[in-house]
Structure 1
């Protein structure tokens, strides 16, 4: 049967289900894993920092390995791999939030091992998924729309996590005590894991590989040399690394910023995360229109300007919630606009690299880029956890010491503000490296 080159709404929506699934679980780890470790599973912040960092070191093996497998096997492997890993993905995510009754040291080991397992399976399913967009279509506008649906799926997943997590844990657990919240976590994550596995099956069922790269008959060293020579790919990795620091601080540290700087509760933090995902969704939905007017690089630069202004507004607001809302909404909207752009640039960098070197590196290129995002998140979590430790954060204490305020402000405002500023340089270099086409 002939396959149409026209992408249907169903196929675009199915592609978005992949990031929806990822962010039901990966989004849960981004927003609530640190809180789960410190306030529900009673792991010290200093130990949490090392768990988040060590897990990323293990990913340094998993991501390139699965990327190399995809390149060697060819693009037709991708939907089959996604289908077969759908259930293991949900199961490993469930185990990651399973609070076994162990001794303090054993809890640290269990948390680290389960998080490493989840990260490994996430690598093996999400890396092929990232490369799938280049195999569905080679048209730039199609890729913009595919990655827009991807980011909209991401925002829907984040929305569900932000809206439901704290109320669902308390309701399913029957209260707010430590034991009740542990029970609530188990039931809640089980439901998310089942939904996430189903979403991955939708991706494998409805996304069509039209431009499958043939199996690569090159050695690993040849693939690596080809990637090293792809300067635009390096720029994409730099951009994604700093972009995910901003995402990690927004979603992973807002609960601490709310409690310490704004004097709010976990429920209020969940409401803010819900607001952030709504604004991020709207921003991602507006991205194709913005790209038509300003180009990909121009839209990315405008979004960074908005982010810098937003961080300044948040810091200026102090404990004033009304002023904080203004900066927070602007920041979430700007991050939503930027969210699909770097993936489109990555697709272009991979295509251009293959044209220049005659070596298909899509699987390995996406794998290492995925690794970069996770290293970024791991490093961010490590820094944020040590900021909590340095400020002497006390879990489950209603009123924290005022001395903790500079520490959480550094993590929530100044760290991501600096990374937003840094991104202007690689974006300006991108235009110089690709003068033949306006992006």
Structure 2
């Protein structure tokens, strides 16, 4: 097995436990298990908020254990596999279901953070900028395969007659992929080149270039998380094509995977930050018309999915590489990525509030004509506005950091 491939494999199961969980959990618990939509949204928000505060601390612990991560990652993998299975195989009903969802989500988020922060920090210490972009392409490519699988398979299983049995097999397959990814990373991957000096988790905030990058990254993450949370609702109740949900999601993520080599090549040519900015522009152009779509606009929405998917490739691959270029060789990277993933999780937490917002706007899942305009505006127009703010802030960063590697004009 090639070292770069061995590094990238873990991206597949980690991606399966990230955005797809956020996409499918609301519809699964509200549609299959009968939990109220607004309650599901508040649970998603609360669980993410509780989990978010621990990431800088986890990054600090990982820095302290650099080079001795086998036990850490194996324990985290076990917790993630158990929590992932528990999310889809809830043994309780009624009010107890709310607490069960909270506990399983926190378990998934915590274990995912333990693995993901170490994984990203590992990737930041693999070599020069070209090596980082190559490794990021493998990681995000494998991740997009995981996202495609996790986007299509649960929806197919939930539409069947034996949902619980199907989700049990799905959880088992996830556990096997997770075990393969961890073993490949620990024993067949590119080595972690150095660890830098140990530091407080707050020390990265003293890095001015890092602080400047946080706001555009956070705003962009919110703009991606909102439509991800609402995609299945939009496809079912705005486009009126729930039978094509898997196809739309597959088109979105396959387009992202196919676009990865293009973004890597473009970043090498014009700079990582400028390539990311072009990705933002493409995303706004793709989503701008989605607010105007209505029932039956299947072909037009397919085009939106493909273009937005291409833009997603830039959002996934380029920001972590951009961050890696800002970390001093004298500093350990996990503390940086702890703060980085904190913002990503906060963005997902805020996207969960879109569900109570839709309920306030009169939207009712599965009820024709109830809050359709509110759904369209929240799904498409709001993310475009936030993405434009992110792009404006990134433009300022590019000008301010023009002399730094990765930001060269």
TM norm structure 1: 0.86
Indicate how the Cα distance of structure 1 residues 393 and 37 shifts in structure 2: closer, same or farther if over 3 A, else same: farther
Q: Contact 2:67/2:192 (CA < 8 Å) preserved in 1?
A: no
Aligned to 1:409: 376
Aligned to 1:93: 84
Counterpart among 37, 61, 73 of residue 45 in structure 1: 37
Q: What are the within-5 Å matches in structure 2 for residues 256-405 of structure 1?
A: 256-265=233-242, 267-319=243-295, 320-351=297-328, 360-381=331-352, 383-394=353-364, 397=366, 400-405=367-372
- Structure 1 position 255, deviation (Å): 0.8
Aligned to 1:107: 97
Q: How many residues align?
A: 405
For residues 321 and 161 of structure 1, the distance between their equivalents in structure 2, rounded to whole angstroms, comes to 22
Unaligned residue ranges in structure 2 (runs of 5+): none
When the two chains are superposed, the root-mean-square deviation of aligned CA atoms in Å is 2.1
- The reply on whether 1:23 has 2:15 as its aligned counterpart is yes
For residues 159 and 343 of structure 1, the distance between their equivalents in structure 2, rounded to whole angstroms, comes to 21
- The reply on whether 1:142 has 2:131 as its aligned counterpart is yes
Indicate how the Cα distance of structure 1 residues 210 and 57 shifts in structure 2: closer, same or farther if over 3 A, else same: closer
Q: Contact 2:155/2:246 (CA < 8 Å) preserved in 1?
A: yes
- The reply on whether 1:116 has 2:87 as its aligned counterpart is no
Aligned to 1:421: 388
For residues 392 and 186 of structure 1, the distance between their equivalents in structure 2, rounded to whole angstroms, comes to 35
SS at match of 1:349: coil
- Structure 1 position 288, deviation (Å): 1.6
- The reply on whether 1:70 has 2:47 as its aligned counterpart is no
Of Structure 1 and Structure 2, the greater helix share is in 1
- Structure 1 position 78, deviation (Å): 3.6
Structure 1 runs of 4+ with >6 Å offset: none
For residues 258 and 14 of structure 2, the distance between their equivalents in structure 1, rounded to whole angstroms, comes to 19
After superposition, give the CA deviation of every residue in 1:225-261 in whole Å (9 maximum; x if it has no partner): x322212222333233223223323333111001111
SS at match of 2:191: coil
Aligned to 1:5: none
Q: What are the within-5 Å matches in structure 2 for residues 235-246 of structure 1?
A: 235-246=212-223
- Structure 1 position 156, deviation (Å): 0.5
- Structure 1 position 69, deviation (Å): 1.0
TM norm structure 2: 0.92
Indicate how the Cα distance of structure 1 residues 189 and 404 shifts in structure 2: closer, same or farther if over 3 A, else same: farther
For residues 262 and 60 of structure 1, the distance between their equivalents in structure 2, rounded to whole angstroms, comes to 34
For residues 298 and 3 of structure 2, the distance between their equivalents in structure 1, rounded to whole angstroms, comes to 41
For residues 197 and 28 of structure 1, the distance between their equivalents in structure 2, rounded to whole angstroms, comes to 19
For residues 83 and 207 of structure 2, the distance between their equivalents in structure 1, rounded to whole angstroms, comes to 35
